[in-house]
Amino acid sequence: MSSNTYAFVATIFSLLFATANAVVEDSFPGNAWRAVGSSFSSMVEVSSYSPRVPFWQKATRQSDVLNGTQESWWTSSPFSSSSSSSSPVNPFRNFNAWVNSFIFPESFTSYLVASLGPDAAHYVLCYMRNFVSGCIIYYATAGFFHYRNYVVDKENLFSSGKRKKPTTATIMNQIKLAQTSLFLYVALPVFSDWLIEEGFTMCYYDISEIGGFPTYLAITLFYFTCVEIGIYWMHRTLHENKFLYKYVHAQHHAYNTPETLTPWASIAFNPLDGILQASPYVFWLLFIPCHYLTHVLMVFCTAIWATYIHDTMDGDVEPIMSNKYHTVHHTHYIYNYGQIFIFCDWYWGTLKKPAGPTGTGLKRKTK
């Protein structure tokens, strides 16, 4: 495995675990950022929040909470407010509103609040933010891998003639499809934020709520394992269910040869396809505690990873499922359904490692 690939993987995981140290006072970013009477303040203050006690804490802590002798895990410092308000500030809503305040001017926000009300205005802003950030992430990451593969390494990769360079028409087709899909695809994280902000999930904001770093790490690994399994079976179902394959997933598999796979193909799909494959990230939040910023970073890293695995290069990062495995998936259809790791495909017998360079030796297998 190249040093650059090792560095990339190490950076992703260091960023992921760095969010565990986001131990903050008074629901970071706190309350001071909200000017009195601002539209963003009204969005935060109107929010309701009814979190739940983790099942392993109920037996030992719920009686203390009811008796008032001990704070519950959701009313410790991350959810406490220094104001005189009787209810704690919703940390998730507060964080999202804070991020939105850097993007949208007060005049536009006030117009939305007056027209739609604070709740609807908040989620409209979140949708718009997600759409813009989704476009930036897509073009930035795909552009980076495009420049690396087709400009910097052009002579090394394509001069022999064994590996064919994707045509401009193929790339433009993928960009158009991806851009169209983004309009609906970015609605999933908005729905996820609504579930989290309204207390329907087991998300938490500060690792002190879950018992510290060791517990955070164990539960996060369990959550991510469940997500991996969920994505594997969702992806596999999209292939094995004839209706779903024909009307949802087949569009993405129009890119079924190495020369038609590019970084721009990462989200060139039916938006329902992307929503279904990403849904385990949201579904498991209903049952498994997950640090909020870690969850956000996981979704962000997944977007980058999706770009990486579609570039038909030959990264060796086992047990991580690198781009060479996903190229085999596109050329052979019935193998390598996993997202990040190969363990699901290994366990359920669908793992196929390419015998040689994926860009030169793979032939498309008819579906």
Q: What is the pLDDT of residues 14-36, one digit of tens each?
A: 555 554 444 334 556 766 666 65
Q: What percent of the chain has pLDDT over 90?
A: 55
Q: Does residue 37 have a pLDDT over 70? A: no
> Given this model, what pLDDT does residue 46 score?
77
CB 240 within 8 A of CB 126: no
Rg (Cα) of the chain, in Å, rounded? Answer: 22
> Given this model, what pLDDT does residue 3 score?
53
> Which pair of tokens denotes residue 145?
């891998």
Out of 50-64, 180-194, 196-210, 260-274, least confident range: 50-64
Mean pLDDT of the residues in the chain: 82
With 0-12 / 13-18 / 19 or more C-beta atoms within 10 angstroms meaning exposed / middle / buried, residue 307 is: buried
> Given this model, what pLDDT does residue 323 score?
85
Q: Which of 147, 186, 345, 193 is nearest to 267 (CA)?
A: 186
Half-sphere exposure of 4 (CA within 13 A, CB side): 5
> Given this model, what pLDDT does residue 68 score?
45
> Given this model, what pLDDT does residue 31 score?
67
Using pLDDT thresholds of 50, 70 and 90, give the confidence band for residue 351.
very high
CA pseudo-torsion sign 251, 140, 228, 321: positive
pLDDT, tens only, 49-88: 555 555 555 544 444 444 444 444 443 333 333 333 445 6
pLDDT, tens only, 160-178: 777 788 999 999 999 999 9
Cβ-based neighbour number of residue 132 at 10 Å: 13
Using pLDDT thresholds of 50, 70 and 90, give the confidence band for residue 182.
very high
> Given this model, what pLDDT does residue 319 score?
85
**Residues whose CB falls within 8 Å of the CB of residue 63, separated by 6 or more in sequence, listed in order:** none
How far is the C-alpha of 303 from the C-alpha of 301, rounded, in Å?
5
How far is the C-alpha of 297 from the C-alpha of 295, rounded, in Å?
5
Q: Which long-range contacts (CB under 8 A, 24 or more apart) does 36-41 make?
A: 38/106, 38/109, 39/106, 39/109, 39/110, 39/112, 39/113, 39/118, 39/121, 40/97, 40/98, 40/100, 40/101, 40/106, 40/109
Q: Is the pTM of this model over 0.75?
A: yes
* Bond preceding residue 29 cis, omega within 30 of 0: yes
Using pLDDT thresholds of 50, 70 and 90, give the confidence band for residue 258.
confident
Residues recorded for the chain: 367
**Residues whose CB falls within 8 Å of the CB of residue 44, separated by 6 or more in sequence, listed in order:** 34, 89, 90, 93, 94, 97
> Given this model, what pLDDT does residue 85 score?
42
Taking residues 258-284, report their average pLDDT.
Answer: 95
> Given this model, what pLDDT does residue 276 score?
97
Taking residues 123-149, report their average pLDDT.
Answer: 95
Q: Give the 3-state secondary structure of residue 26.
A: coil
> Given this model, what pLDDT does residue 56 score?
56
With 0-12 / 13-18 / 19 or more C-beta atoms within 10 angstroms meaning exposed / middle / buried, residue 367 is: exposed
> Given this model, what pLDDT does residue 197 score?
92
Out of 26-40, 87-101, 115-129, least confident range: 26-40
Q: Of 146 and 39, which is predicted with more confidence?
A: 146
CB 263 within 8 A of CB 202: no
Out of 14-23, 148-157, 199-208, least confident range: 14-23
> Given this model, what pLDDT does residue 321 score?
87
pLDDT, tens only, 290-303: 999 999 999 999 99
